[in-house]
């Protein structure tokens, strides 16, 4: 599994790709947070809209992502 994090400043959207797979459907988990699911129902991606207003620290997201990859 390869974790990838991307940020689109124009859209103010952060995307965290957890797994390379085809998206079967996307669901809004809560306001401004959309999860992508594969055919097995596994979460393969997470999009956070209006990221700059979410209160989430991008540096912390990246740090945790790197730690997750290093644990594998």
Sequential DSSP letters for the chain? ---EEEEETTTTEEEEE-S-S---EEEEEETTEEEEE-TT--EEEEEEETGGGTT--HHHHHHHHHHHHHH-
pTM here is: 0.78
Q: Looking at per-residue confidence, does 41 or 65 come out higher?
A: 41
The per-residue pLDDT for range 2-31, each reduced to its tens digit, is 788 899 999 999 999 989 999 999 999 989
């Amino acid at each position: 599994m390869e974790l990838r994090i991307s940020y689109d400043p124009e859209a103010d959207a952060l995307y965290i790709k957890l797994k390379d797979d085809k998206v079967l459907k996307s669901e809004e988990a809560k306001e401004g947070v959309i999860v992508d699911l594969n055919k097995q129902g596994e979460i393969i991606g997470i999009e956070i809209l209006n990221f700059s207003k979410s209160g989430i620290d991008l540096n912390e997201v990246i740090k945790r992502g790197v730690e997750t990859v290093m644990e594998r």
